[in-house]
Each structure stands twice: as C-alpha cells, then as structure tokens.
Copies of this chain bind each other. A is one copy, B any other.
Amino acid sequence: MREKDFITIIKQTLNSKYIGDDCAYLEDLGIVVTQDSLVEDVHFSLNYFSPYELGWKSAAVNLSDVAASGAEPKYMTISLSLPDTVDNNFVKEFYKGCKSACNSICEIVGGDITGSDKIFISVCAIGSTKHRNISSRKNAKEGYKIVIAGEHGSSDIGLKLLQKGQSLPKEIVEKHLMPVAQIDFGKIIGENVKEPYAMMDTSDGLMDALSAIATESGVMTEVDFDKIPHNKNVENFANWQESVLFGGEDYGLIAVIPEKYNYGTPIGKIKSGNGINLKIDGEIKHFTKAHVEDKIFNHFKG
C-alpha cells in the first residue's frame, strides 16, 4: 500500500493533468507515452525467467499500456542496469526477446546500460495517436457495455507453479513468462469507436481495472463471472476464481464502449453507483474500491 501513498504524494507535488491512465496522452505532439519497470526479485526471478523471456515481457508490459490507450505502438527505449554476474549472452538474448515481442510493429530506438547490484529494467514506449480515438478511465458512461480481450487467471497460476519449481502446463506458465499484449484489440477500439470511451489493461488484475474505471468515472461496473474468458486448465487449481479476478499480469484489455459496437467479449454493463457488482455462483456480490484493494493485497500476501 506504500506505493499508493507515494503516488498520492507525486500527484500532489506535480499537480499534472496527465497522470492517471496507463499512458500520458500528449495531444500537442500526437503521441502517448508510458514507462514501466521490472526489478529483479520484486517482479521476476532468474530462477525461472530466461533472459529472452525477460526481454519479451519487459517489452510486452509496455506495449500493453500503449494498446490500452487506443494508440498505435511505435517506438521504445530501454534502460538496463546489470550486475557483474551478467554476461554478453544475457544482453544479446534479452534484446532478442524485446525485439520479438515488438514484432516489427514497434522499434527499439535507444536507452542506456549501467551497472547495479540487481537487474533493473525500465522501458519507455511511445504510441502514435494518428487516426486513433484515445481512451480515458474517466469515460465510462451508464448504459455502456464492458468488453474484454484476453484470457484471465493463467498468469497468476503460472507464477505460483514457477515459484514451486514447476514449468507445466506450458500454456499456463508461458502466460506468465511471455504475455502477449492485446495490440490488435487496442487498434480495433482506437480506430473504430467514435465516442469517448474507457480502456485499461489488466496488469494489476481484472478487478483492479474494473474498480479503477468505476472510481475514475463515478459509476458502477457490473460483470458476470461466467462470461470472463479463461483457459479451462486453470479450473484444476485451488482458488482459481480468485486468480481470474484478482491475479495480475494477464495483460488483457477491458474496454467500456457504447452498446452498438460488437468488439471483444461482453462481460457486463455500466450502472449508476460505485464499485463493482459481481455475479458469481448465483449471487451478486458488491465490492467497494477499498474491498478490491484489500483482496488484491491479501491475494498476493497469501
């Protein structure tokens, strides 16, 4: 929760209109920009990440933020800090992974490399807003539908398996190691939705995204658990519903758009009120913002 306090302090100190979405939308330049970091032993461990997978993921998490804005990912810079134990092959494989995740869509154009005690990766991604309608978490409106792209729950279960030294089932574990940003979905929404709309990635969990959109837009998000796409394999694991709802790093996209558009998988609707109404196991459970934060905190603590 300390990071939340820090963000409040930063917002107060900077007093900037730009901070709040996955990306900052710089209208005068026709771009969006985002920056996200991965720290060794905080966000990943070399016990189960290969350098190639680490490069892939570092790029993918930033591509996901650009996709969430509705912009077109174009360029990336990468700062890498490496301990003495890291060799030339690590650097080569890491950058090969970054480049593969960028998949000829986005080009790596700079950054720097320095020494450190642990591996520290910070990536900045830039998207073009040309011919795109840019999202804001503030734009969800009563009556809009909530649609989703990407399966949920796999990354969280994959991480738990990896931490136990297991690397199967491959499709679950790979979802954690090499997530795929929903660039095509971001493009469809950004190019075709003409009204103001909300979009956000599920990097910190699906419920976190639903709660953030509800809070920022002053509405309630109502979703039906049974409609949330997930890999059938996740149902074999304990507390899999929690992983689908509160597990992070699946890097799906949630869009809140007018009813008339048929993009993504519909999972619910925007109602008046606040927080989230979740239909699950034949009941409707209400989650306030604080409730969601507690659940996420305890989910990751446990």
Chain A positions near chain B (C-beta within 8 angstroms): 3, 5-7, 9-10, 13-14, 16, 18-19, 23-24, 26, 28-31, 33-37, 39, 41-43, 74-75, 77-79, 81-82, 88, 91-92, 95-96, 99, 107-118, 120, 122, 124, 126, 128
Contacts and interface: CB of A to CB of B under 8 A. Distances in A.
B29 A74 contact: yes
A124 B77 contact: yes
Given A92-B13, A99-B13, A7 B43 contact: no
Contacts of A109: 16, 18-19, 24, 26, 33
Most buried by B among A9, A28, A74, A79: A79
Contacts of A13: 91-92, 95-96, 99
Copies of this subunit: 2
A31 B31 contact: yes
Nearest to A7: B113
Contacts of A29: 29-31, 74-75, 126, 128
Contacts of A18: 107, 109-110
Given A33-B124, A74-B26, A110-B35, A99 B6 contact: no
Give me the 6 closest cross-chain CB pairs, A-B, nearest first: A122-B122, A124-B124, A18-B109, A24-B109, A35-B77, A24-B110
A67 to B, nearest CB: 16
Most buried by B among A24, A75, A124: A124
A92 B128 CA distance: 32
14 contacts: A6-B82, A9-B92, A23-B110, A24-B110, A30-B30, A31-B126, A33-B77, A35-B79, A35-B110, A35-B111, A37-B120, A39-B81, A77-B124, A124-B124
Given A26-B126, A77-B35, A79-B36, A10 B120 contact: no
B114 A19 contact: no
Nearest to A33: B77
A120 B39 contact: yes
B81 A33 contact: no
A174 B118 CA distance: 30
A296 B164 CA distance: 47
Given A5-B88, A113-B7, A124 B31 contact: no
Contact of A112 (B5, B35, B112, B116): B35
Nearest to A88: B9
Most buried by B among A24, A28, A88, A122: A122
A68 B96 CA distance: 29
Contacts of A6: 82, 88, 91, 113
